[in-house]
Amino acid sequence: MTNKRKFLMILFFVFMLIGNTMNAQNSINKSLCIQEQSIVTIAALTAIGDIDNLKIELNKGLDAGLTINEIKEILVQLYAYCGFPRSLNGINALMAVLEERKIKGIQDKKGQEASIIDSKLDKYQSGKQNLQQLTGIEEKELKGANAFTPIIDTFLKEHLFADIFNRDVLNFEQRELTTIAALASMSGVTPQLQAHIGMGMNTGITETQILKAFDLIEKNIGKQQAIIAREVLAKVIIARQNK
C-alpha cells in the first residue's frame, strides 16, 4: 500500500471513530438489513458476470424476502451501469432460479408492479429534478462530459434518472445501494463510485451501511476491490466533513 493510501485510510478510520462515538445511539449508524445485503450481493455478482454465485445469492435474496419484481428491477437498472449483456444474463439466471424453486414447490412472492407514469411528463425535467434531489446540487448549466456531449446528458436524464428512477418498485435508497454495489465491484469506475456514494448518503444510506456493503464486496468479489471502495468512501467522508 502506498503512503498516500495509508494516509487516506488513517484519516478514514479517524473520521469513522469520531462518527461512531458521537452517534453510537443514533439510527444514523444503522446497518444493512438482510434484504439490503442481498441487494448488494446480487448487484455485485451481476456486475462482474459471476452467474454461478449469482444464482446462489438470488436464492438467498428470495428466501430473505425480496420479491420477484424487486429483483427484476435491480437487474433491469444494472444495464445502465454494467451493460445489457450482464443485465440480461442476470435476468436469465433469475428465470432459471425461479423455475428450479417452482419445481421444488416454493412459491415466491411476485410483489408490486411499477405504477403507470404520466405520459405527458417532461422526462428531461423529471430526470433533472431526480438527479438534483440525489446530488443535493442545483444544476444551472451543463458541465464536463455532459456539456462536451449533450446527447449523453439527455440520455442520462430522460432515461436513467426519469424512465428508470421514476419506477416505484424500488425507492431511491435501494437504487443507489444497487448502483454503489455494482460500481464497487468493477474496475476503472472510481469517479462514478465516488459520485454515487455521495448520492446514496443523500438518500439516507449511512457510512455503516456502506462499510457493510464493502465487507460483502470483499467476501464475494475480492479484497482489492473492497480496498479501493473503502478509499473512495474515505474521500467522500472527508469532502462532506469539509463542506
Average pLDDT over residues 74-98: 98
Average pLDDT over residues 210-232: 98
Report phi then psi at 206, rounded to 5: -90, 165
3-class secondary structure, 217? helix
Tell me what pLDDT residue 119 has: 86
Average pLDDT over residues 164-191: 98
Question: In terms of Cα–Cα distance, which of 190, 174, 176 is closest to 227?
Answer: 190
Report the C-alpha dihedral over residues 196, 197, 203, 208, rounded to 10 degrees: 160
pLDDT digits (tens, 9 = 90+) for 56-70: 999 999 999 999 999
* Domain locations along the chain: 122-165
Average pLDDT over residues 169-184: 98
Q: How far is it, in rounded angstroms, from Cα 140 to Cα 148?
A: 16
Asked whether 178 and 78 are in contact (CB, 8 A), the reply is yes
Candidate from 24-38, 45-59, 91-105 with smallest mean pLDDT? 24-38
Asked whether 184 and 7 are in contact (CB, 8 A), the reply is no
Q: Does 22 have pLDDT greater than 60?
A: no
Q: How far is it, in rounded angstroms, from Cα 89 to Cα 46?
A: 8
Cell numbers at residue 241, please?
Answer: 466533513
